[in-house]
Amino acid sequence: MASVSKNDLIKKVVAKTSKTNKDVTEIITATLDAIRESLEAGDEVRLINFGVFSVKKSAERAGVNPKTREKMTVPEKMRVKFAPGKELNDAVANVKL
């Protein structure tokens, strides 16, 4: 399965719009920055028909160092959570892996 980079995404948006590469780059960069800033502030980002980005605390847990096999404690931390919307789920429901 292929991976789509930020530059690939920019090229796809340029092809679908009448905007220049520079304009689309600025818009996508600003959009991603706004999403990041909202999450940093603890806010949820809800994109209708796409999904919801939110921040969730993951609890402290027991883990194992994969190199040494030594038991360790993984501290709690904040993580980004993404819950896809129905339309996005439906769009990828029949993707062949």
Rounded distance between C-alpha atoms, residue 27 and residue 51, angstroms: 19
Of 80, 61, 83, nearest to 72 (Cα)?
61
**Looking at residue 2, what is its pLDDT?**
85
pLDDT at site 95? 86
Which pLDDT tens digit goes with each residue over 7-45? 999 999 999 999 999 999 999 999 999 999 999 999 999
Specify the fold of 44-97.
HU Protein; Chain A (4.10.520)
Would you say the pTM of this structure is higher than 0.75?
Answer: yes
Q: Which residue ranges make up each domain of the chain?
A: 1-43, 44-97
In terms of C-beta density within 10 A (0-12 exposed, 13-18 middle, 19 or more buried), how is residue 75 classed? Answer: exposed
